[in-house]
Every structure is written in C-alpha cells, then in structure tokens.
C-alpha cells in the first residue's frame, strides 16, 4: 500500500515517513500544497495524510481540487487542536478522517489501516481469502491458522492482493502500490516476489491471468474461472 504524507514541518514529516515505512508502507512526501496537489493528482495512493496548514496552497483547497478532479483515495487530515472550524471545512472538502496534533503514531497507523480496508470494502482488520488470513495490524499471514514467514516485500505484495482479493491486479498496478516514487521500478521483480509468495502460501492461490496480471483466490476456486 502506498501513502502520501503532506506536511510542511520537516521534523514531523520525517517522523511520519519513518513510522509508515516501518509499518511496511511505500511513502512519498510533499512539503507544500503545490507539490501535494501534483503528486495526489498523478500517483495512485491508497491513503493520504494531509496537514491543513500548508505553504503555497492550503490543505483544504488542495483537497477540494483533488476531489473535483475525481481523486478517490481516502484522506486523513491533520489539524491543530483549537481549530474546530478547520475540521468542518476539511470534511466538507472531502476528508474521511482527522487527527488533532499532537498525536500518537500508533493511532495514526490504526486510522490509516481502517481507511484503507474500508476503501477496499473490508470491515475487519483480518483479511480472509479462504483459509488464508492476512492480519493488517501485526503484518502477519496465516494459512489454516499456521503463521507463514514472509519478508516485508512479500507481505506488502500479499497485503495488496488480499485487499483486492478476487480482482485481477496488473503488474504495473502492483509496482505502483508497493513502491514509492524513488524506487527503481522494474515490474520483473514483481514476478520474482509472486514466485516466492506462491512457494510459501501455495502455488494455486495466486492465479496468473495471461496478459492482465494476478488474482488472489481461495484454492478451491483455482481453475474455476
């Protein structure tokens, strides 16, 4: 899952990027409203953290422009404690959630997980595909209740596929949602990771749809489509 962090305070920006990367997300950052508007309008983020007090273009305006352009990623706004009217303006502009500064990184992470899974149509933090379970809180996966040892890249790939279980996901979509913009993106690496994942969770769980991409399915459904 890929996250955009928009924050003009350099310390907080660094802290957020570090915390999110530690939690296994690909993270891009923007330090002002102009950069934010550009990145949010051109890259496919799974969730966006948007500070409202920004140089160049303020956060509410950025959010309004994104929504006017049809940008659908869930957005969590960061507001100052005493600025209740900012929250109202933020929600009216299309925000999905908010946090008041200062906040605990753990709370931010929990709120972002909730936003991403709701955007993908899941009510629970545990994503289930047949007997495969992907725990988005602990970053662990289980087959038939048994923990599977995955590297962080394998987990990122599996988590994205599990959020979109049953859907065909192209290699380029996987690359865009698993790596940040600075990563040297080679879609061949996706093939390698899919191969490794198949060895660990069972080859028939990740279906290759020729010319289109991959689909995470329960094993009993393999070959049915």
Instruction: Name the site residues for Ca ion (rule: CB under 5 A).
Output: 8, 51, 53
Number of Cβ within a 10 Å radius of residue 91: 15
Tell me whether the omega of the peptide bond preceding residue 102 falls within 30 degrees of 0, making it cis.
Answer: yes
Select 10 or 212, whichever has its Cβ closest to Ca ion: 10
Enumerate the H helices of 56-186 as residue ranges: 59-68, 84-92, 105-119, 152-163, 171-178
β-strand 140-143 against 47-51: which pairing, if any?
unpaired
**Shortest Å distance, C-beta 113 to Ca ion:** 24
> Which one, 53 or 219, has the nearer CB to Ca ion?
53
Q: What's the closest the beta carbon of residue 16 comes to Ca ion, in angstroms?
A: 12
**Secondary structure class of 20 (helix, strand, coil):** helix
For residues 195 and 208, what is the distance between their CA atoms, to the nearest angstrom?
Answer: 11
Least CB distance to Ca ion at residue 53 (A): 4
Nearer to Ca ion, 33 or 213 (CB): 33
Q: How far apart are CA 2 and CA 178, in angstroms?
A: 6
Eight-class DSSP state of 126: E
Return the percent helix, strand and coil in the chain, to nearest 5: 45, 20, 35
Choose between 77 and 148: whose C-beta lies nearer to Ca ion.
77
Name the minimum Å distance from CB 60 to Ca ion: 12
Are the CB atoms for 45 and 37 separated by under 8 Å? no
**In this chain, which residue has its C-beta nearest to Ca ion?**
53
C-beta of 54 vs 161, nearer to Ca ion: 54
For Ca ion, the closer CB: 8 or 204: 8
- 26, exposed or middle or buried, with CB in 10 Å at 0-12, 13-18, 19+? buried
């Amino acid at each position: 899952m890929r996250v955009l962090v928009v924050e003009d305070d350099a310390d907080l920006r660094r802290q957020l990027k570090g915390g999110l990367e530690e939690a296994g997300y690909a993270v891009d950052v923007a330090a002002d409203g102009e950069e934010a508007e550009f990145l949010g309008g051109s890259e496919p983020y799974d969730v966006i953290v948007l500070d409202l007090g920004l140089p160049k273009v303020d956060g509410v305006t950025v959010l309004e422009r994104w929504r006017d352009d049809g940008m659908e990623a869930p957005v969590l706004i960061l507001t100052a404690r005493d600025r209740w009217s900012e929250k109202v303006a933020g929600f009216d502009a299309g925000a999905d959630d908010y946090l008041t500064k200062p906040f605990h990184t753990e709370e931010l992470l929990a709120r972002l997980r909730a936003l991403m899974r709701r955007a993908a149509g899941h009510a629970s933090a545990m994503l289930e595909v047949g007997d495969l379970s992907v725990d988005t809180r602990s970053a662990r996966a289980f087959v038939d209740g048994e923990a599977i040892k995955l590297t962080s890249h394998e987990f990122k790939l599996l988590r994205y596929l599990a959020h979109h279980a049953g859907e065909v996901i192209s290699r380029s979509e996987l690359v865009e949602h698993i790596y940040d913009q600075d990563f040297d993106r080679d879609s061949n690496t996706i093939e390698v990771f899919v191969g490794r994942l198949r060895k660990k969770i069972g080859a028939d769980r990740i279906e290759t749809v020729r010319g289109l991409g991959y689909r995470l399915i329960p094993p009993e459904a393999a070959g049915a489509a």
